[in-house]
A and B are shown apart, each in its own frame.
Chain A
Amino acid sequence: MSEQVAFQHIEKSSLIGQRIKKPDAPAKAIGKTRYINDMVLPQMLYGKILHAGRPHAEIIDIDISAASSLPGVHLVITAKDIPDLKLGFVKDNAPLKDKVRCERDEVAAVAAESEAIAAEAIKLIRVTYKDLPGVFSAEDGLKDGAPVIQERFPDNKSLKFEFHHGDLAGAEAGSDIVLDDVFNVHYVTHCCMGTSCAIADFDHNGKLTIYSQTQYPYNYKMDLAPALGIDPGDIRVIQPPTGGSFGAKLDVYPFEPVAAILAQKTGRPVKILFDRQEEFINSPTRQPARIHLRSGCTKDGILTFRAADVLMDNGAYTSWGPTVPVIMMRTTSGHYRVPVVDFTGQAVYSNNAYAGSFRGYGNVQMTYATAQHMDMLAEKLDMDPIEFRLKNAQKSGETTPQKSFLRECALAECLTTAADAADYVAKLKKYTDERSEEGRYKRGIGLASSIHNAGGAKIHKSDGCGTILKMDDYARVTVITGASEIGQGIDAVIGQIVSEELGVPPEHVTLVNNDSDLGPWDVGVHASRTTFIAGNGARRAAIKAKEQILAAASKQANVSAEELDLRGGYVVQDKDGAVVTRLDKMLRQMHFQPEPDVVMVSDYYEPNSEPEGRDHISDHSAAYAHAVHIAEVVVDTFTGEVKLEKITMAQDVGRVINRMGLEAQMEGGVAFGIGFALSEEMLFEQGRLKNPNFRDYKVPTAPEMPEIEMHFIESDCAEGPYGAKGIAELPTIVIAPAIANAVYNATGIRFFNPPMTPEKVARAIWEKTQQ
């Protein structure tokens, strides 16, 4: 009785901005979730790849006889056993190689009955190589007479991107201050906790089912098919839970077609799973870059130009890495008002590892340079660095030289919010004054800002996402979305959004998004796009379902649909929340009525952005956002250790959707940035990775994490779901230059070549004392 009274009227309430738990968290916390790494299929064989382990060589002979005759081995293959089919961004890569161009090159592959037998068989393969002189930097690749890496590219020049805007010579002549510096941004890698894995299985109609960690299942088919010589339509992609991704799984890498070829030839499912050393050596890296940046301003502190000449080591093959200038140039041209822009990005083939996409995608590299130059200009001007930045900060409605339309621009608010919260200006002066004093420990504070696409990035012709939504007779909702879950939490966000619209609890929403045979098209998890794009799609689908239900209810209750709403599992009167009927009852009645119907809707959301053209002049994202990080550090001048004590951040998130998920993305993004800034570096010698393990490649652990104070600026994005913008990359982008600026404040030393390891910092401090 009391329950009935309580439910006669249901107040309007909102889940937006609340803390929503990830629906898959309990199964993960109890160890029940079966990741792809844990999967075993009936009759499954274990694949293993022989990697060259040398950077550049001709393959003279491969003797597989001993490996083939090992009991338990089903198949050994080399490049000779498969058609000459290519993969990669410019189709310069192959599943198995007939020539070695880098350490990771796949020379042979085995399928066997156990991992141990496969590993033993790999050791029995005898390869005769003729080593060739190598190219181990972009600079060396450009030299006259440099060894040619890819025969199709005899000058070793890979991708090139350019953007020029305005009169550079005139702008330089009109500048009172010009800075000219070279930044060298290093190799780092994703280190997903779940190592790379694929399981391939062909049926007797020639259809491939591939269990994959991919974060872009639909284009993945398009990229995988040419390497196998099959139709993309004959590939089904299943995405079991995956142990992290961060951009590492945004391309097809050779082990995936190799697994498929082994499966095709043996007629059995084949699993390839990397161990940690294989993961370090054979995974994509972040694109390293030599950034020659020049920036100018007037004596009044108005930016006059930026000119960036970016040279990138392409490595031996072309994945997404060398395409990062597409984003680098947006920051060069669009972060602060830059009237004149000159950008060139050139990639050069070498015998080093090759880069893929990685959270922050070029912007981590570029912002490391631009954000330090902003501080350096302010110092030369002897101007308060906040005042300098505010003078050049765009306002809402401005357009950048590349035609990024900053419809809602909260850059100034991010700057002042973070600066006020951290007491930045006062501390900056105090620590500058203290720099010359005696003492082992020096404090420093540093600020950095950046811009990033926050409404997808239309680097393909489409940036859309499909959604199918159905409701059952018990008011449970199933959402089939093209958007992938890689740990980032779209499962929670879609549940939240659908609940918001349909007035059902989030736990009554089931998400289906791991099977390309079920899901509609989506571009993939990248570019901070999923909450924005898939969230919009889910919301639009839910609104369609709601309209259908309310139309049916309006007939039955004889009131207009506009006067009705869905709340708490009921159809109610919108004005006072008075209960009309139970939602589940309404849904059942819908298919028992004279014109029977079920709730089963679909939506395709394509953001109103423009494709990135060859001239790079387009509004390529449906929204843009800014973030400002302030880092406070203590530098031990004896050991060179940089202790990061606190991060104060302000980011334009448009609108908070899932507050808990948002905080989690910020904290995780900060951790990536800290690793990049202070400890992580892949060390290559003559093309060989010297530190392929967690001992010698130091990812941040709990003690390295600072206190993080977060301020979310809600600029209410007109295009975003409930006003939200994409959020996940900015925290990784801005932190390293904030730390570099703080280390400068503490020591008076600029670090143009991250990471700022204790060895490097201690040496720089010692060298400074020798001057």
Chain B
Amino acid sequence: MSVKTELTFTLNGRPVTLEVPVEMTALALLRDGLDLKGTKYACGEGECGACTIEVDGVTVNSCLMMAVDLQGREVMTIEGLQTNNALHPMQQSFVDHGAVQCGFCMPGMIMQANYLVKKNPDLTREEMTRGLEGNVCRCTGYSKVLDAVAAVVGAKQEA
């Protein structure tokens, strides 16, 4: 019924070409079209950060982005953060610090945390707190999340 268009972009390092309905969001494409269910729907209006992905190195709420706007871009999802089947240091730090409870918000939280640390390796706790303001978690009270991010920053500074 709906109008479709061809879309080509890079997804977690690999080229993808497919037909997508023009009204589809990037979130729906990832979850339903490409079976990458690590990116979560929790509000659908950019208020909670559960659907956070990286597009051309910048985090966005994929629920607010149209799939067709991914044309020609580099997209990374939570599934693309691991390398060689090993947890990314940010993912490992979240596990080690007990930052994961129900875990539903964690893919988005980890994507945003990783982006903040990439952008500023000397991130202060205050900056982390502000930088994660758009990611809602109902289980943790954020303390262990911030501990996990701080540990990654600390490890980078020591290295």
Interface residues of A (CB under 8 A from B): 19, 21-22, 24-26, 28-35, 37-38, 190-195, 241-246, 275-276, 486-489, 660-661, 663-664, 666-672, 693-695, 699-703, 705, 708
A-B contact pairs, 21 of them (CB 8 A): A21-B95, A26-B95, A35-B40, A193-B50, A193-B104, A193-B105, A193-B136, A194-B102, A242-B102, A243-B40, A243-B42, A276-B43, A276-B45, A660-B97, A663-B144, A664-B144, A666-B141, A668-B140, A694-B43, A695-B45, A702-B132
A192 contacts across to B, CB distance below 8 A: 102, 104, 138
Q: Is the CB of B138 within 8 A of A699?
A: yes
Q: Is the CB of B77 within 8 A of A31?
A: yes
B50 contacts across to A, CB distance below 8 A: 193
Q: A21-B98, A22-B95, A22-B98 are in contact. List 5 more A-B contacts (CB 8 A).
A: A22-B101, A30-B79, A30-B87, A667-B144, A699-B138
Q: How far is the CB of B127 from chain A (nearest CB, A)?
A: 11
Q: Is the CB of B106 within 8 A of A244?
A: no
Q: Is the CB of B98 within 8 A of A19?
A: yes
Cα distance A246–B110 in the bound complex, in angstroms: 23
Q: Is the CB of B48 within 8 A of A193?
A: yes
Question: A667-B141, A669-B141 in contact; A244/B104 too (CB < 8 A)?
Answer: yes
Chain A CB within 8 A of B91 CB: yes
Which of these, A29, A246, A694, contacts B136 with CB under 8 Å? A694
B40 contacts across to A, CB distance below 8 A: 35, 37, 193-194, 243
B106 contacts across to A, CB distance below 8 A: 28-29
B103 contacts across to A, CB distance below 8 A: 24-25, 28-29, 33, 241, 243, 487
Chain A CB within 8 A of B81 CB: yes
Q: Is the CB of A276 within 8 A of B44?
A: yes
B142 contacts across to A, CB distance below 8 A: 667, 671, 701-702, 705
Cα distance A701–B49 in the bound complex, in angstroms: 11
Cα distance A243–B37 in the bound complex, in angstroms: 13
Chain A CB within 8 A of B59 CB: no
Cα distance A695–B43 in the bound complex, in angstroms: 10
Interface hits, B66-96 → A, CB 8 Å: 77-79, 81-82, 87, 91-92, 94-96
Q: Is the CB of B100 within 8 A of A244?
A: no
Question: A190-B138, A194-B42, A487-B103 in contact; A34/B37 too (CB < 8 A)?
Answer: yes
A29, A660, A671, A694, most chain B CB atoms within 10 A: A29
Q: How far is the CB of A698 from chain B (nearest CB, A)?
A: 10
Task: Describe A's contact surface by its main secondary structure.
Answer: loop
Nearest neighbor of A695 in chain B, beta-carbon distance? B47
Question: A29-B94, A31-B77, A488-B101 in contact; A701/B136 too (CB < 8 A)?
Answer: yes
Chain A CB within 8 A of B129 CB: yes
Nearest neighbor of A280 in chain B, beta-carbon distance? B43
Q: Is the CB of B141 within 8 A of A668?
A: yes
Cα distance A243–B140 in the bound complex, in angstroms: 12
Q: Is the CB of A702 within 8 A of B94?
A: no
Chain A CB within 8 A of B39 CB: yes
Chain A CB within 8 A of B130 CB: yes
A246 contacts across to B, CB distance below 8 A: 138
Nearest neighbor of B101 in chain A, beta-carbon distance? A487
Q: How far is the CB of B107 from chain A (nearest CB, A)?
A: 5
A21, A660, A670, A701, most chain B CB atoms within 10 A: A701
* Count of A-B residue pairs with CB < 8 Å: 175
Q: How far is the CB of B77 from chain A (nearest CB, A)?
A: 7
Counting from the closest, the 10 A-B pairs by CB-CB distance are A31-B38, A487-B102, A28-B103, A243-B104, A667-B141, A31-B78, A671-B141, A694-B47, A38-B37, A660-B98
B45 contacts across to A, CB distance below 8 A: 276, 693-695
Nearest neighbor of B134 in chain A, beta-carbon distance? A701
Nearest neighbor of B102 in chain A, beta-carbon distance? A487
Chain A CB within 8 A of B135 CB: yes
Which of these, B48, B98, B130, contacts A694 with CB under 8 Å? B48
Cα distance A28–B104 in the bound complex, in angstroms: 7
Q: Is the CB of A703 within 8 A of B130?
A: yes
Cα distance A703–B126 in the bound complex, in angstroms: 8
Cα distance A489–B79 in the bound complex, in angstroms: 24
Q: Is the CB of B141 within 8 A of A486?
A: no
Cα distance A489–B96 in the bound complex, in angstroms: 14
Cα distance A28–B98 in the bound complex, in angstroms: 12
Q: Is the CB of A21 within 8 A of B96?
A: yes
Q: How far is the CB of B27 from chain A (nearest CB, A)?
A: 12
A699 contacts across to B, CB distance below 8 A: 136, 138
Q: How far is the CB of A700 from chain B (nearest CB, A)?
A: 8
B133 contacts across to A, CB distance below 8 A: 701-703
B95 contacts across to A, CB distance below 8 A: 21-22, 25-26, 29
Q: Is the CB of B98 within 8 A of A243?
A: no
A21, A31, A244, A667, most chain B CB atoms within 10 A: A31
Cα distance A276–B44 in the bound complex, in angstroms: 7
A29 contacts across to B, CB distance below 8 A: 87, 91-92, 94-95, 100, 103, 106-107, 110
